[in-house]
Amino acid sequence: MGTLLLEVFPLVRTATSDPHVTMAPHRTVRHTVRPDQICLLTFDRPGSAANILDQRTLAELNEELDFIERQPQLRGVVLTSAKRSIFIAGADLNILGEEVPNVAARKLIEFGQSVMNRLAALAVPTVAAIHGAAVGGGCEVCLACDYRIASIDRATKIGLPETQLGLLPAWGGSTRLPRLIGLPKALEVILSGKTLAPKLALKSGLVDELAPAEYLLQQAVKMISRGKPHRPNRWLWNNGLVAAVLAARLRPQLMKRTRGNYPAVLKALDVVTLGISTSIPRSLELEREGVLELLQTEACHNLVRVFFLTERARKRTAGGTMPEAEPKPIARAAVLGAGVMGAGIAQWLSARQLPVILRDVNTEQVAKGLSSIAKVYQEGVKRHIFTPTEARAGLDRISPAPMEVPLRRVDLVIEAAVENLEVKKQIFQRLDELAGDDTILATNTSALPISELAAGTRRPERVVGLHFFNPVHRMQLVEIVVGRQTAPEVLQRALRFVQQIGKLPVIVKDSPGFLVNRILMPYLLEAGRLFAVGASVVELDEAILDFGMPMGPMRLLDEVGLDVALHVAQTLAASFSDRMTVPESLVKMTQAGLLGRKSGRGFYVHSKSKEAMPNPQTASFVRDRRAANWPRLELQERMLLLMINEAARCLEEGIVSDAEDVDFAMIMGTGFAPFRGGPLRYADALGATKLVGAMEHLVDSGAPDFKPCALLRNLAAKQGTFYHNK
């Protein structure tokens, strides 16, 4: 359970017989008061790196407010955290699960609001000294204080991400934030669900001051002497007329962006705009009713599940058990290949404090890689992800190597060369000679067999796949591909490495296309087939956007590059010829140089100054027009059925160990609609019987690729589910 610790720094405690003033080890709260009569409240959840808010934490905070209210000599209160990189990471989502009765959820929300109200109503000044993440409920605690001061550390971020979980801020965040910074800025923060870096938080008015972490407490104590704040009256923005205008303007924009698939965003808009022109008690009531309504939605349930799957990936171990000894961390790395993927991987590693050798065949190729890395750092500085100093230090950690260099002191080599099996085999044979005995040899291939690469080395047990996704600095997923001879300790070390660099791992068996590309490719191939028989590029993309994907299949093909997609498709079609065939149109477009964004033309015409438009040249690649007038739902169903079928087949074949891995990988690797929970969770929502019936109907109509796999047929026969009522 979350805990709140009221801690006195190396100062004396106030003499009192109050029972809450205790140092008993079983207590999660203790307090002392400084000699200058300032009380320091320090959040510190025992046995955890993070602070969270749960029933016990709120109850203990409430008790401590009792104590503070009984101490007339106090001059003020400073809230802080004992954690290295967390202030408060929000509410404990376990208490908001779908199994929680509505009555219990209502009581918890009301209690949380009551505690925040008491904190906000204290007679003495209060300051939140924020170092690390203050998000969700943690941000709402800060909003209930009179002042907020944040450290300038990159670990510090502040915001209200509830809409990304299908919820809205309901412990006062939807009420207090607009009153603090004004309605337009508050809507931007709440509706986007984004967290702000310290400088952006200061600029928005969310925090009052910034300070180095080592001086944070000292500066917070000084703020107490200002007394209660006199905030500017924001009546110009915070009134019913402005709220109505903003709501009318934003609603259609949000509907266009979400297609109605994310009810939390629209509900938050209603709650914030209605609440700003009413009393605080009424606004808090709107928060309660809004979040209780959202807690009943399937979108909320699935988004919370995705959150837990993310936490699971960050903490998982190979085989589900802890190793006897912690794997040796990766301290030095090398990347072979300075193209798009190699440069992206090198940039990410250097930004995570790892020295990296960037190797390619000549100076020109290495220089191109360094140039693209510099652009990523420059963009990161603009977006306040890096300071200029951090960006320069990151670049300095990269050692360019246009010729062969010794690799014996390198812990990990990641090969990211051209997707050609014979070329990669030669590279691995040479790496086997250059690398040290304990060096892990990894490949970033997206589809080629790991075990074949390993077979040409003297020690195949140290070869593993680390498949990053493009663009590396934005995509969180990494597929860890286990070859036939990959040693368990190599897998465990690779897993720890992926977690060490802040990526999210999924462990997959060595098989053509691994997991994500294996599931994605039938969907893309079907989109290509539908295009070839007359379905328009726009209708195909719109059908999938309606479903909730961030990008349609034709636009995705353009972004990936038709040549790259064709290579993966041909690799998989060679292994799964019974159900995967490459559309002739894809081959001909590639031969014609219509490669997508990289060539300026593909299914769309791409321009830096204009929005992408359908490419009229593609009409010559349409074979007939039989699908020209098919409704979007039919197009959507055909593409998604193949994805679900292949996802079930991957589980059936043991490519991954459970349904959660399938869904998590597809959400993080392809953007599969998170509010639907992933392809297998979505399959459970539809029901296996309905799915199998739809697939068999298509088979009977002359589309053998839709033959349902054995696992789906068995589930349909038994009325079973992938998740077994999880």
For residue 627, the domain's CATH number is: 1.10.1040.50
The total of other beta-carbon atoms located within 10 Å of residue 69's CB is: 14
In a domain, residue 458? The reply is yes
DSSP states of 340-368: HHHHHHHHHHHHTT--EEEE-SSHHHHHH
In a domain, residue 653? The reply is no
Report which residue type is found at 330.
I
User: For residue 23, what pLDDT is reported?
Assistant: 38
Contact (CB, 8 A) for 216 and 129: yes
pLDDT tens for each residue of 274-318: 999 999 999 999 999 999 999 999 999 999 999 999 999 999 998
User: For residue 5, what pLDDT is reported?
Assistant: 28
Same structural domain, 363 and 276: no
pLDDT tens for each residue of 42-55: 998 887 888 889 88
Which CATH number covers residue 400?
A: 3.40.50.720
pLDDT tens for each residue of 570-592: 999 999 999 999 999 999 999 99
84: left (phi over 0), alpha (psi -120 to 50) or beta: alpha
Paired tokens of 630: 């098919």
Residue in 313, 654, 324 with CA at minimum distance from that of residue 489:
324
Percent with pLDDT over 70 in the chain: 94
Paired tokens of 701: 């109509």
Same structural domain, 550 and 497: no
Q: Which domain holds residue 569?
A: 512-632
The total of other beta-carbon atoms located within 10 Å of residue 438's CB is: 13
Residues catalogued as catalytic: 467
DSSP states of 68-96: HHT-TT--EEEEEE-SSSEEE--B-GGGG
Q: Residue 18: is its pLDDT beyond 70?
A: no
In a domain, residue 484? The reply is yes
Same structural domain, 45 and 108: yes
User: For residue 52, what pLDDT is reported?
Assistant: 86
Q: Residue 4: is its pLDDT beyond 50?
A: no
pLDDT confidence band for 25 (50 / 70 / 90): very low
Which CATH number covers residue 181?
A: 3.90.226.10
Domain count, the chain: 3
In a domain, residue 721? The reply is no
pLDDT tens for each residue of 356-372: 999 999 999 999 999 99
Q: Which of 510, 537, 569 is the last residue of a domain?
A: 510
Same structural domain, 424 and 443: yes
Same structural domain, 108 and 120: yes
Q: Which of 275, 294, 313 is the last residue of a domain?
A: 294
Same structural domain, 65 and 143: yes
Paired tokens of 164: 């990304």
In a domain, residue 51? The reply is yes
Same structural domain, 538 and 414: no
Q: Residue 15: is its pLDDT beyond 80?
A: no
Same structural domain, 169 and 255: yes
In a domain, residue 348? The reply is yes
Characterize 415-428 residue by residue with b for buried, 16 or more Cβ atoms within 10 angstroms of its Cβ, and e for exposed: bbbebeeeebbebb
Same structural domain, 517 and 492: no
Q: Residue 649: is its pLDDT beyond 80?
A: yes
